[in-house]
Structure 1
Amino acid sequence: MSEAQMNENKQGKLEKPESEIKQMWSALIQNKAAVVGMVIIGFLIFIALFGKWLMPYDPNYADLSVNKQPPSVAHWFGTDEQGRDIFSRVIDGTRVSLVVGLTAVSFALCIGTVLGAIAGYKGGKIDTFIMRLMDIMMSIPNILLAITFMAALGRGIDKAVIAIGLVTTPEYARIVRGSIMAIKDSEYVQAAKVIGNSDTKIIFKHILPNVLSPIIVRATLGISTAVLETAALGFLGLGVQPPYAEWGDMLGRARVFIFEAPYMLIFPGIAITLTVMAFNLLGDGLRDAFDPKARS
């Protein structure tokens, strides 16, 4: 075979298509806003993991002789009303806020996925009962419902996780239900039924893996919501309790010093804003990356 014929055969061969995961990753990293979100989240995770070695002071050590000092070389973010270093407390609060946010979303995701899967797959009265319950919960503003749960459960970091997880459960249940109803009559689902697979196996092995995209996007955006609601509960004095440093609690305690020492509110507020923004940017980027039309 001549060299020209070999070149023609090479050119005639179809290029191997790029995998779906590579396409999504390529679309994600081309989204500058999503990359900014990932960088900020990576930085926050680093602070949460290694913050105790980065804090110049014990975040809970109080020294009234240096209370309400403005930012300086000794205290980069200043000190609060009890003389605690705000920089150290903001770093310590990163761990608390991320842990509460991630745990609450995981809790809501597990419950919402199970309820939504059952409702979407079974239908009928079971679907009606579960969805009406979810509708009732969604008709109440999240923060009011979270306050109600906190009043019933009591204060504490574990109670905050449960309360925030419960109020966000309906969102995941509705997403999973809608996605399952769209594909439960597909041929591969019917084939799984014919060969005798149980309903549980069909739901978790054949259906849920095909509806992960909207769930992942919503969970990413849900983390920002959970962080914000954690801060709101802390601001009201119902969330994470001392001695834990939490951004919302720091804002709540500093609000009476807004004119006397505004830096006590500024730095925790910036931390909340950056965290919420980062997860929102990443969630928007994931939504576009999972959507073939947006990628094209």
Structure 2
Amino acid sequence: MSMQHAELPKSEFPEQTADLLEKPESRLKEMWESLCEDKAALTGLFVILFLVLVALFGPLIMPYDPNLSNMTKSFIWPNSEHWFGTDQLGRDIFSRVIAGTRISLTVGLSAVAISLTIGVVLGSIAGYRGGKVDTVIMRFMDMMLAIPSILLAIAFMAALGKGLDKAVIAIGFVSIPEYARIVRGCILSVKENDYVQAARVIGNKSSRIIFKHILPNVLSSIVVRATLGISTAVLDTAALGFLGLGVQPPAAEWGDMLGRARGFVFTAPYTLIFPGIAITLTVLAFNLLGDGLRDALDPKLRKN
């Protein structure tokens, strides 16, 4: 049986095998060239890089302490001294938007890291093992998907308590089913291919087959979903903050800023506009980059 696999003509290998044999440097170069041709994706990438720089060097460019209150300067409209104006407590909104960038990106990236890690493991086990293991894992994932993610996150926050670390855990946990289902579906579509069967025949362990021969071939779907997942996590963070369940005062968080400013929509609309723009730009940037990565990482779309 092993001889049959060894003598299999190269022309009968699936297209995925040729992609795996291609040098990583060549694949990365093709992906980057494809990404550069997509102006929308490139714009999203530049916006994300800008947000990362703001998050890293925010304390150096903040003109004021974002948590310092000064009631004598409350509700100052945007001017040369306070570019985005001040809120009801006299805090500089520009400084608070900058401080909120670090919090939103931290929660988004950390939550996706949690959900991605657990989801890939569960999806890999379910897709590769199949049978009762697959049924048990995926039925549990279906139960979680039956509940809207924001409601499930609120339930977790109610059980865990308020705070940044609790928000990361809650948002990360509710996103696990999406990654598990994606990974499971991808593994089911490739696990019977010849190169996987050959790896099994020569005695490779299941874990090695999954992580060396299967997951690299479905990496594009995982990367795209993770990129889009960050935008979802940012939205969920803002929603929890708006409801008062996320990051707690006096820390600056975009959703919390919106929640506390909603009573001044007519008297001081700028207190809502700038945090809202920050959320919109961040979510849009990650969505544009995710769409671009989907096209760049898909071999069929590259060939077209």
CA deviations over 1:109-146 (Å, ceiling 9, x no partner):
00000000000000001101111111111111111111
Matches within 5 A, 1:94-133: 94-133=101-140
Instruction: Supply the distance in 2 between the matched residues of 1:133 and 1:238 (Cα, whole angstroms).
Output: 26
Aligned counterpart, 2:166: 159
2:75 to 63, 68, 72: 68
Offset of residue 92 of structure 1: 0.4
2:40 to 15, 21, 33: 33
The question of 1:194 aligning with 2:201 is answered yes
1:226 to 203, 215, 233: 233
Q: How many residues align?
A: 280
2:97 to 76, 79, 90: 90
The amino acid that maps onto 1:56 is P
Matches within 5 A, 1:245-264: 245-264=252-271
1:19 counterpart SS class: helix
Instruction: Supply the distance in 2 between the matched residues of 1:289 and 1:202 (Cα, whole angstroms).
Output: 25
Aligned counterpart, 2:191: 184
Offset of residue 22 of structure 1: 1.6
1:253 counterpart SS class: helix
Instruction: Supply the distance in 1 between the matched residues of 2:295 and 2:202 (Cα, whole angstroms).
Output: 36
CA deviations over 1:205-262 (Å, ceiling 9, x no partner):
2211111000000000000000001000000000111232100000000001111111
The question of 1:21 aligning with 2:28 is answered yes
Structure 1 stretch displaced more, 203-212 or 138-147: 203-212
The question of 1:146 aligning with 2:183 is answered no
Instruction: Supply the distance in 1 between the matched residues of 2:202 and 2:292 (Cα, whole angstroms).
Output: 39
Question: Larger C-alpha radius of gyration, 1 or 2?
Answer: 1
Offset of residue 20 of structure 1: 2.5
- TM normalised by structure 1 equals 0.92
The question of 1:215 aligning with 2:226 is answered no
Name segments (4+ residues, structure 1) moved above 6 Å: none
The amino acid that maps onto 1:63 is N
- TM normalised by structure 2 equals 0.90
Point out where structure 2 has 5 or more consecutive residues left out of the alignment. Answer: 1-22
CA deviations over 1:175-230 (Å, ceiling 9, x no partner):
00001111111222222222222212221222111110000000000000000010
Query: Superposition RMSD on alpha carbons, in Å?
Result: 1.2
2:59 to 40, 52, 57: 52
1:106 counterpart SS class: helix
Point out where structure 1 has 5 or more consecutive residues left out of the alignment. Answer: 1-16
Instruction: Supply the distance in 1 between the matched residues of 2:294 and 2:30 (Cα, whole angstroms).
Output: 13
Structure 1 stretch displaced more, 276-285 or 188-197: 188-197
Instruction: Supply the distance in 2 between the matched residues of 1:244 and 1:79 (Cα, whole angstroms).
Output: 15
Instruction: Supply the distance in 2 between the matched residues of 1:193 and 1:114 (Cα, whole angstroms).
Output: 19
